[in-house]
Every structure is written in structure tokens, then in C-alpha cells.
Amino acid sequence: MAKILIVDDEPLTVEMLGTFLKVSGHEPIGALSFKQTWDRLAYEEPDVILLDIMLPDGNGLDICRQLRADPRWADVPVIMISAHAPPMTAEAQAAGANSYLAKPIKLDALRNALQEVGIR
């Protein structure tokens, strides 16, 4: 079982992804903003982070860069998610993301992305 932090400003997205992850045997943790992400990371140690790019109080790309610069989080896999068109795959990769998924997220694609970072 993996602990997975889901960061998205849409509560329904956090809930739906959380339900899928829970049914898949994982422990989902939700955060709805830039600030909530850091609040959660103060006391949680996720095995992977699903990170939306557009947040109401910040940018997921900035969070990813900060994670990569911090030794505590540098090795935690980050899967960026976004409804941004065109996809921001190159920007996510440059920020240090391990993978990128476009919204709406297909569950098979999420499952594959998790497997690519070692989460079964």
C-alpha cells in the first residue's frame, strides 16, 4: 500500500482519484491548494505525489521545483496533472516531474504512471 498525496484545487477530482486509489489498495491524502500541500507535507510522508499545475494560490510547477531542491522530498515521484491545453509536458519535465497526465485523467493511464514510478 502506498501513501499518495493528491494535490488539486477541484475537490471532486481529489475525491474521485482518492476513491480509485483507495479501491486499488492505497492511502490517498488530499490537498486543495499550494499552502495545503506544504501543510500536509509537514506531517505526512507520501510515496508519490499527484500534482495539479494550476492551483488557486500558487503553481504546481513551483511546488515540484521546491520538492526537488529539498533533500527530504527530492526522490519522491511526482506525477503532474493538468487540463492545460496544449499539454505542459516539457515544463513539467523541466520542473522535475516523473510523469505527466492530461485531464480528464484516464484511470488506466494513472495506473500505468503509478507503475512506472514503482507503485503497484
How confident is the model over 90-111, as pLDDT tens digits?
999 999 999 999 999 999 999 9
CA separation for the pair 51, 31 (Å, rounded): 9
Enumerate the β-bridge partners of residue 7. Answer: 31, 51
- Chain-centroid distance, C-alpha 5: 6
Per residue in 3-49, pLDDT (tens digit) is: 999 999 999 999 999 999 999 999 999 999 999 999 999 999 999 99
Instruction: Delineate the domains of the chain, giving CATH numbers in brackets.
Output: 3-116 (3.40.50.2300)
CA separation for the pair 119, 36 (Å, rounded): 24
Burial class for 115, CB neighbours closer than 10 Å (0-12, 13-18, 19+):
exposed
CA separation for the pair 70, 83 (Å, rounded): 27
Global confidence as pTM: 0.96
